[in-house]
Each structure stands twice: as C-alpha cells, then as structure tokens.
Chain A
C-alpha cells in the first residue's frame, strides 16, 4: 500500500487549496478527483467572481481554477485524475478506482473535499429526457461544448439558476422563463438584472406543474402557488420548451466522509460536525468546502487553506505559532466574504433595508429588474453633465472591484466591501469603460444623458457573440428587456484588460438614456 503524508479527496477549489498548504508545509501530498479535469465546479464557472482582490474578484472561475492548479503543481502536489475514491477505511486508508483496477493508499491525514450534488424536485414528467440539473447543463455547455437544448425553462432563481440562465443565453439557447416557488428572487439582484434585460421573464411564486412530451420534453406547464406552495387552480400556463433546468439547491456529498464514522449534523443537508479548522470528530480526518456546508468557491478556497494548515499541524509539519498567524489571516479574509444581505446568518430572512438604510428594491426581487423610479435612491446613481458612471448596485454583497477599476477615483465602495458603491462628487469620468468591464455583476453603465440636445449615449457590458460593430442599428431594450427606442452602436471596446467583457456604446434618443440598458441588433 502506497503511503502519503496527506491525502486530499476532490480537486475543487477547497481540495486544491488544502493540498497546496499541505505540500507547502513539506507533506507528501496526493490529490484525487474522479473527473478527467481538475477544478471541481470552478472549471464550469465562466463568469467573473465577486469579492475583493484577495478573493480573486473579477477573475473568471475557470481562470482561478487554472491558477490554483499551477500553484498546486509548483508546490509539489501529486494530482491524480480519473481517480474515484470509493471507500475510506480505518487507519486512514482509502481505495481508489482508476480505470480497470483498484489501488489502496494510506496517509497521516485525510481531507475530504468532495463538494456537493444537485437537488431535484420531482414533478410530473421530471423523468423525461430534457429535465436536468442546472449544473449538469453547465457541464454540458462549458466543459463539453454541447447545447443542452434550444428552449429552456429554468426552475430556481438562486445564483446558480441566474448564472446558468445567463450562460445558456450566451451559448445561444432561448431561456423561456425563470420560475421560482418563492415570492422573491433568491440570488444576487445584479445577476437577475443582467438576465432580465435580455428579455427573459421571471415568474415568482410559480412552480412547474408538469413537463409534457412523449419521449422528451415538448412543453412545460407552470402554475402560480399560494403561500403554502399549493398550485392555485386556473393559473396554469403552458409554454413550449424542450429543456427544464432545475436549480433548487445542492446537497453536500458527505457519503464518503460518513464512512469514517465521524459525527454528523444537519445544516441544509447532512454535513460532518467540524471544528473551526475543518477537523471532524475522528482524529486526522478533515473536511472542507461544500461538503461541510454549502457556500461558495471563494469561501471554499479559504476553508481549504485553513484545513490544509490544520492537517499539517495535526501531523506535526508546522508549529503552533505558524499555524496561528496563517489561520488568522485567512479567517479575517473569510469573515469579509460572509457579510452582507446574502451572508449565511441572513439566510431565509426578509431584508427590507440596506446597511445604508435605503429601501431594497421590491421590483428587483419580484421581477428581476429595478424600476426606473427606484433608481435614484442608490448612491451609485447620480445625475451629472457629460459622461458619468451609473452603478445599478442596490444590495449589500461582498464585492468591490469597481472601486479599484476606476483610475480616476470616480467610484468609492467605502469601509466594508459590502457597502454600496457611490459615485464621488467632483470626480470626472474619462469614459474609459474599465469599471463597466470590471463589475462582476454587469451593473455599471456609462451614461451621457444629453450629448447634443437630441441624443444621449449608454455604454454597457456585452458578453454575447457575434459582437455588434460600430454602425450597427437596432433597438435599445429597457431593464425588463422590452424594446423601447432605436439605438445605434457607436463604439465597441474589447481589449485584453477587459477579459472578454466587451464594452459597447450605443446612441439613443436622450430621453431613453436612463432607460435603455441593452442592445439588440436589427435582423
């Protein structure tokens, strides 16, 4: 039986980060993952991440994965892919299925970072081909280059449902509707708004009654629900669709860690009861990432680092004081992420005011976009002469790349990264577009409300192909995706620094400069 100092199971953000710490401490470290490619969920995340610079904000998930992998290899981690861990046994032994044989390994410490699996809600017809998890749809598109379908109904408006809907649109699918049984959008408002402005309707307090079809999904019946989530008769509505994506949450994949006999607890799924460093009740067995409680890749990475350090300390590879100082730093960074309206401690709570005391946009929560007349409530939306940023960011989420993106000091987030960004008083916008491309929520626009008495301009983030070109004519769509005016593209910037978020400027009648938020080319 081959021996290592540290075995890590699962090469997602948590596992990779944990393995890096182990190897850096000098441990002979092996990392196993069942997939052909490492990175776990990260390699499917083609969108820019939230957070602060220290959390790798505004970098796309897939690129964060690449960075982590390089770091792991440099640190000397042995990465074993297509290697499924099928069992954990006493004395910290594991069995691994690789190709047509089984190998056994033993280590001083084991870190389980197996992530999570998608939840499913059974409804009539849910076993028809064409019904799949949103994460599965994302794997098809972003890892294998396969469109999951043409006409999609997305169930679930949490961040996964919102992000995958946007990516389906990017892949060329039509998203017919986003539905959720809850009365309010569950994910970040900015994620909802970028989907809504392309014209996707949101149906809150709705659920799927039935997916119809003979050998695959051909249509979907949705219906409105009452406060007890019962379908209100007579509200049913049938829409043509060939695909239903289900994004109703994740279950920690804790089967493997349970084999150790460790103490478990129930927090939105069965997870190992761990101390603050990821140690389970079994000495030498640790857990990190989604398997120990569903959160995010950004927090999974930090947890992974902390747990890696804890395993190194447990096995005697680092001293107590090194451990303490390093963990302190990581914990502070983790705390910053666990703030704001969507923080774990606020789960399920109805929040009506921002930290600044401003009312939370009801329209954003009920329809996926903000009403034009709510806009001026927020510190990022000001009226100015000439070109100026309009930051449609109305919720306290841990994110601040905009502040650093502007080289001219036009944007200020404030003390905490969850504070709402404000446009500073006497700053002068140079119309460079850096903030537009940097905002992971695609919520910043550069607006000139009055160019020449007749026209105004709107500069917006654009991540669809084919990219429009200067001179293209079409319609300006409002925040709900409704065509409201004629629009002409006057400039498209697509530099390396913008990292594939093109910055498109369109000219619109000036009375629409604060209304038009998306461009649709005339065909």
Chain B
C-alpha cells in the first residue's frame, strides 16, 4: 500500500466546530468526534499520532470497533481518502492481557 505523505509546512486551515462534535467515537476511551477533529488541527495527521495523543483505539477493544470510524474522520479533515491513511502500527498484545499474566510470565527455556 502507498500511503499519503504530508507536507506539514502547508496549513490545513482552522478548526471549526460541528453540531455533532460531542458524538462519542471511541467508546472504550470515551473520545469524541470533536476531540479527534481538533487533534488533526493540533498537528496529528497520522493514526499513530492520534492514538498516542488521545488514546483512541487503546482501550479494551483495541480499536476493533472505532478504528475505521476514527480513520474516516481524520481522512475527511485532511481531505484525503481513508485508504491513504496508514492504520496504527499493530503490536502485541493483539487482545488485552491482564497485568497479572505478564507479571507471572517466566521466561521459558527453549
């Protein structure tokens, strides 16, 4: 896949409020559409940046529900197609694992 590379020196304009900005998009972390849109104007152009800035997609479902919706919102603000935005880097654990399990994790011998 070829993803869009941004020239960040070019301004994208000002954030303007929309009537449904209070709509929750990431249910796990309770992040609204307005917060995601604002983040773009704060300079967060990639899904990885949005994720670290807002925690959208970092909750229990790990973005399985909201991932696509977050991508659509960011792409629209940037005026590009969602397919041009790279998804967040996938990392283990792919599903939430309790800290207890990791704490108990003894290194296995090969």
Q: Which residues of A are interface residues toward B (Cβ below 8 A)? A: 1, 34, 84-89, 95, 97, 100-104, 117-124, 126-127, 251, 253, 255-256, 258-259, 263-266, 269-270
Contacts and interface: CB of A to CB of B under 8 A. Distances in A.
Contacts of A95: 92-93
Nearest to A88: B92
Given A97-B93, A104-B108, A255-B94, A122 B24 contact: yes
B64 interface: yes
B95 interface: yes
Given A122-B69, A253-B64, A255-B62, A100 B104 contact: yes
A265 B83 CA distance: 9
B94 A270 contact: no
Contact of B91 (A1, A123, A259, A264): A259
Contacts of B14: none
A86 B90 CA distance: 11
B97 interface: yes
Contact of B1 (A124, A127, A264): A264
B94 A266 contact: no
Contacts of A127: 24, 27
Interface residues of B, number: 30
B23 interface: yes
13 contacts: A86-B95, A86-B97, A89-B92, A97-B95, A100-B100, A102-B101, A118-B65, A122-B25, A124-B20, A124-B23, A127-B24, A253-B64, A255-B94
A259 B94 CA distance: 9
Contact of B64 (A117, A123, A264): A117
B94 A85 contact: yes
Nearest to A98: B101
A377 B72 CA distance: 44
Interface of B: 1, 20, 23-25, 27, 33, 62, 64-69, 83, 87, 90-95, 97, 100-102, 104-105, 108, 110
Q: Which 3 pairs across A and B sit closest by C-beta, in order of nearness?
A: A87-B92, A86-B93, A258-B90
Contacts of A126: 23-24
Nearest to A99: B101
B17 to A, nearest CB: 16
Contacts of B69: 120-122
Given A122-B69, A266-B83, A87 B94 contact: yes
B64 A270 contact: no
B4 to A, nearest CB: 13
A251 B87 CA distance: 13
A487 to B, nearest CB: 45
Q: Interface on chain A toward B: helix, strand, loop, or mixed SS?
A: strand
Contacts of A85: 94
B94 A120 contact: no
Contacts of A121: 69
Nearest to A100: B101
A276 B2 CA distance: 22
B95 A84 contact: yes
Contacts of B91: 87, 259
A118 B101 CA distance: 28
B102 to A, nearest CB: 8
Given A124-B20, A258-B87, 9 more contacts: A86-B94, A97-B95, A103-B108, A119-B68, A122-B24, A123-B23, A259-B90, A259-B94, A270-B1
Contacts of B24: 122, 126-127
B33 A122 contact: yes
Nearest to B109: A1
B94 A251 contact: no
B1 A87 contact: no
A344 B83 CA distance: 20
B100 to A, nearest CB: 7
B25 A101 contact: no
Contacts of B95: 34, 84, 86, 97
A102 B97 contact: yes
A207 to B, nearest CB: 13
B23 A122 contact: yes
Nearest to B87: A270
Given A86-B95, A120-B65, A256 B90 contact: yes
Contacts of A270: 1, 87
Contacts of A269: 68
Contact of B97 (A97, A123, A253, A266): A97
Contacts of A87: 91-94
Contact of B94 (A100, A123, A256, A264): A256
Contacts of A253: 64
Contacts of A119: 68
Contacts of A256: 90, 94
A416 B66 CA distance: 41
B31 to A, nearest CB: 11
A415 to B, nearest CB: 39
Q: Name the residue in B1, B65, B92, B93 with the highest tally of chain A Cβ atoms < 10 Å from its Cβ.
A: B92
A101 B108 CA distance: 11
Contacts of A97: 93, 95, 97, 101
Contacts of A101: 101, 104-105
A499 to B, nearest CB: 35
A196 to B, nearest CB: 30
Given A100-B104, A102-B105, A259-B92, A251 B97 contact: no
A34 B102 CA distance: 18
Contacts of B87: 258, 270
Contact of B110 (A1, A100, A120, A255): A1
Contacts of B67: 251
Contacts of B105: 101-102
